[in-house]
Structure 1
Amino acid sequence: MGTRNGTLHNAWHLGIKEFHSLLGDWTMLFLIVFMFTISVYSDARARPESLHRASIAVADEDRSQLSARIIAALQPPQFITPERIGLADIDKGMDAGLHTFVLDIPPNFQRDVLAGRSPAMQLNVDATRQSQAQTGTGYIQSIVNDEIRAFVQRYRGPAPQPVQIVERAMFNPNLSQSWFSGITAIINNVTMLGILLTGAALIREREHGTIEHLLVMPVTPLEIMLSKVWSMGVVVLVASSFSLQVVVKGVLEVTVPGSAALFGLGTLLYLFAAASIGIFMGTLARNMPQFGLMSILVLLPLQILSGALTPRESMPDVVRWLMSFAPTTHYVGLGQAVLFRNAGIDVVWPEFLMVAAIGVVFFALAHHRLRRTIGTMQG
């Protein structure tokens, strides 16, 4: 019991020392504040809602009531006000990059539609603007079809539909991209800072020479690890909770139906695993530049392949199997389930268990590596 109390006592005071070191590191403090405020806000608002203010021009060779209705439907916010151009100006405008889309409505278009001849329209797309080109083509096709259908029904009567699909958007009824992006940014930033802060704290000890001071003190590698895990974990937990409550719920006005307390518990458990990974990387790197390069190789796969940006079901089976051993995958799953779908502990307990198990494995590996590193320095 005395040994255990001594370990916790040393870990507590070493953790307080980490707080003082962090308060003196203005670069890290700025990074923490930036990642959980400006970065979260920009991720949620800087990305367009699928299609926003796309440039479009129309070459109206028909000049009929139907063509006027189609042009009137291509309006903000999806498109800027369509510019009417001549047929000879299509290639010129596309070559100059003035328009992302150019719609060519052929002569006698309305007459052929009413006669049931199914006339063709030409849509020219500047595919160098890839994000708008992909989604904008579908938008234009849907708008044109809706206007033609509504126009024809005035003359022929409504066509009966054999099946009617009733859509219900769950958890995000307005299909707002900012709702998803803001919370996903918090999850990704927890991963990034959970690894970087603990690894950088260990590297900082070595670069400043304070690791030698620790070696002559009656502290063990376990106590050094525990101090860095709990102190940096508390910093990231407080910052992420602030971001969720103030930036996401307050500034972005995102409705979060799930339990913030349950998400915080999952975050705390995940930070144990992320901090262990950071310490393990800190024992491999000799200085901060090496640690930074190593972080790129680790963080990119963890964030991109975890399911936060792309559903895991669309990934190859080998990737899904490999990422099942990463704590980030299970943290993303529990975070989305709790915050988006208001899942309780009865639903996400398998993810909690996996995060804890993987965290224990990485903690044991980091502890073994840190003992060897300290033993080498003492020798």
Structure 2
Amino acid sequence: MSAGMSADTTSAPERTVPVRRWLLLTAVILVAVNLRGPIAAVSPVLLDLRDALGLSAGTASLLTSVPVLCFSIAAPAATLLAARTGPERAISIGLVGIAAGTLVRSADGALALLVGTVVIGVAITIGNVLVPVVIKRDFADRIGSVTGLYTAALAGGAALTAALTAPIADDAGWRLALASWGVLAVLALAAWLIALPARTRTVPQRATGRAASVWPHPIAWLLALFLGCQSTLYYAMTAWLPTILVDTAGTSSTIGGAAMSLFQLTGIATTLVIPPLATRLTGQRGLALLVAGLWLLSLSGLLTAPGGWPVWSVIAGLAQGAGISLAFTLVILRARRAESVAALSGITQGAGYALGASGPFLMGLLLDVTGGWTVPLLALLGTAVVLGAAGLAAGRGGVHVDARAS
């Protein structure tokens, strides 16, 4: 009996560690669902929003551009918040902000819509910057697979809101349809708070020093350019794909929303494949060129044969999933320490999303000026070429932004 008790006593701690990691992994996935979903929810009801509030195409595009601009402006603040409170509590604050902003955005009036959008953007930024830090620190032996699950959850959350917002709006109106997604943030916060006590008890906080040391490194700015081009393409498509199809292929808004869901959903496949593959390769140049090629093919298809939108939506989905997962994986691979990942993540996202924020707005502006989609789509094709060049340079293996300090 004593032997059996001894065996139970020694095996319990061994079982506890995996359980804690599974709790944290589940929480990371649920947090990720909220980091794109609130933005993707807007495009299926964008026409309803424009009609209800009398918004021009350029002004309406701000509902997607403003959160991405917040990603840029608030990225350094997210790093500072983590240094003061720790990544876990900072992410909790971000989830509260997402829930609050989602409710405010759905209140009456254009001002509430804008204020809520800003709050959502700032809150999402915290997760954008800090979840990769948690992955690097707590899943160092599973960076590829966990990054894949994280980016798959980003795409899954966007696909979920893109698919269901329009049907909900048909029954309950666009305000309630947008507000309903606050439930996801509450669910993620509950899971995160359950995982948080175990994490903070067992792993000491580490200082976030050496942040300034990554600024001069060319790789930091190449990654920022790669992420910026990827974000420009992704958010431009997220904002305008349903409208493009309504205008050029004669689809309904519901079909446009379905195409958006297809675009978001198919990205899950490449988000699961690219990070594990990237971590096994010495360099990632070939993967960067693959991403650029998929974008070029899908955008060319939308420009020349919009009636084939199911094919182009799938290819664009594969491109965006591969692009974002490769960008985040490169941020993790190009730094040796967690604090350097935090600094590199803040710089890359701060500069990259500043560029990415221009995508939806410039698409709307070019649409207003030219009255058609040819020029906007040509601009995106040029962006895909730049993405390929940046990825080719940033994908060179064996380079770390904190190599001198190691």
Please, what TM-score do these two structures have when normalized by structure 1? 0.33
In our comparison, the structure showing a higher alpha carbon Rg is 1
More helix by share: 2
Ranked by relative contact order (alpha carbons within 8 Å, sequence separation 6 or more), the top structure is: 2
TM-score between both structures, scaled by the size of structure 2:
0.31
